[in-house]
Amino acid sequence: MKILIMIDSFKGSLSSSEAGNIIKDEIEKLNPREDITVLPVADGGEGTVESMSELDGASLIEVQVENPLFETIIGNYVIIKDKNLAIMEMSQAAGLVLIKDRLSPLKASTYGVGTMIKDALDKGIRNFIIGIGGSATNDGGVGMLSALGFKFYDKNANNIHPSNEGLGSLSAIDLSQADPRLKEATFKIACDVDNPLTGKRGSASVYGPQKGANFREVEIIDNNLALFHKKTKEVIKNADDIYPGVGAAGGLGYAFKNYLGAELSPGIELILQMLNVNDYLSSADLVVTGEGKIDFQSSMGKAPTGVAKLAKKYGANVIAFAGVVDNDAIEVNKHGIDAFFPILDQIRTVEEAMDAKKAEENLRRCVNQVFRLIYLYKN
């Protein structure tokens, strides 16, 4: 039997590669003749850089970047040299977790994302896959663009602060000083929401409150983003503020789409395309997937159902393992996962359940029993 293992990380416990190789090891104990392939996988969200760093030929890069409040921190991204590709998460530089106790919805900036992109350009990279989930920012991407050389001026021809607050005084935009290497670059953006830039379904209205914005600030943020679009239209005639996803990450999707010509796609689709998984799935009899938690959201573009949907096109059976499952997890059965299995063996505290050693023990036990059942009926 040809078995393909593509399991997302159990966040805080096991990486994608660790979980996959544990499953492989347990299967081989029962049947060492099985043809098993393990591929790390992620959905473009948090943990993607960690998972993709485990690919053959991948290098994990550390770089000094600015966090949303312009404090210097270390961010990570992955380079795959033979693909001339960088894989990034914007949250490494502009994530909510970086300033979760000091949220500043008007002043937070994506400047550090631009710094990270510049570092990859300096290393000769010209292809980018960037996940834009988990942002602390509402700046429309003006911070990132400023770091990349685009100029944004107030009425006195001074540079505005690269934040949503700065956008409130935006008067003119100069594209001529942008990093010329950007013209050689391609950007694919992992984006799992379809919000426009402004309005009732826009970036500020939907996501502003979780970034610390009160009712009045949501209105200010929305107005400033509308002004940003108005001024952008003066220099980019076909700028689009309603394209699905341009409202993602506080409007960072807008900057990628309109200033950098990026393609916005569901994250799992981008990752699976990059991994060339069709070559593996075309001959797989069984696909094993999963993640730390399977719930209703797992059916909405997460890694397990993304893998499962593609696997079903090739007629493979699909099972999934999870650290924990919710009552509504059965929704994933409608999206290609034939059966799923929680690995917890008894009621535990969150700390106990997420302990790496205990997670490994639980995963090994569960996999062993599931495959004993599979072999019982297969033989």
Residue 148 has a pLDDT of 98
Instruction: Starting at the earlier edge strand, list the strands of the sheet with 339-342.
Output: 35-38, 2-5, 286-294, 317-325, 339-342
Whether residue 296 is found in the same domain as residue 208: no
For 131, residues 6+ apart whose C-beta sits below 8 A from its C-beta are: 44, 45, 46, 48, 88, 89, 90, 91, 189, 190, 267
Tokens representing 123 are 């290393």
In a domain, residue 214? The reply is yes
- Answer yes or no: do 232 and 368 share one domain: no
- 218 lies in the same domain as 339: no
CB 274 within 8 A of CB 43: no
65 and 107 part of one domain: yes
Same-domain check for residues 25 and 96? no
Q: Where a domain ends, among 244, 267, 290?
A: 267
Closest CA relative to residue 257, chosen from 273, 272, 271, 236: 236
Which alpha helices (DSSP H) does the chain contain, by range?
A: 16-30, 48-52, 91-94, 111-122, 142-147, 164-167, 203-207, 215-235, 248-259, 267-275, 278-281, 303-313, 350-354, 356-378
Helix axes 215-235, 248-259, angle to 10 degrees: 0
User: Would 272 be classed as within a structural domain?
Assistant: no
Question: Residue 307 phi/psi, 5° resolution?
Answer: -65, -45
Asked whether residue 287 is assigned to any structural domain, the reply reads yes
The residue type at 12: G
**Residues 199 and 106 both lie in one domain:** yes
Same domain for 163 and 258, yes or no, is yes
C-alpha distances (whole Å) from 315 to each of 107, 127, 274 are: 50, 32, 21
Taking only the tens of pLDDT, the chain with its 379 residues reads 999 999 998 888 998 999 999 999 999 999 999 999 999 998 887 788 988 998 889 999 999 999 999 999 999 999 999 999 999 999 999 999 899 899 999 999 999 999 999 999 999 999 999 999 889 999 999 999 999 999 999 999 999 999 999 999 999 999 999 999 999 999 999 998 899 999 999 999 999 999 999 999 999 999 999 999 999 999 999 999 999 999 999 999 999 999 999 999 998 989 998 888 999 999 999 999 999 999 887 877 789 999 999 999 999 999 999 999 988 899 999 999 999 999 998 888 878 888 999 999 999 999 999 999 999 987 7
Same domain, 326 and 193: no
Residue ranges in 12-94 assigned as alpha helix (H): 16-30, 48-52, 91-94
In a domain, 110, yes or no: yes
Specify whether 246 is located in the same domain as 327.
Answer: no
CATH at 291: 3.40.50.10350
**351 & 256 share domain:** no
CA 62 to chain CA mean position, Å: 18
> Into how many domains does the chain fold?
2
Q: Do 201 and 85 share a structural domain?
A: yes
Domain for residue 181, yes or no? yes
State the CATH number of the domain containing residue 217: 3.90.1510.10
What's the rounded Cα separation, in Å, for the pair 228 and 165?
A: 11
Tell me, what's the pLDDT at 175? 98
Last-in-domain residue among 267, 295, 316: 267
Residue 233 lies inside a defined structural domain of this protein: yes
Whether 245 maps to a domain, the answer reads: yes
d(CA 161, CA 354): 41
Write out the H or E segment, with its range, that includes residue 60. Answer: strand 58-66
290 located within any domain: yes
Range of the domain at 211: 48-267
Pair (171, 127) in one structural domain: yes
- Asked which of 208, 239, 267 is the last residue of a domain, the reply is 267
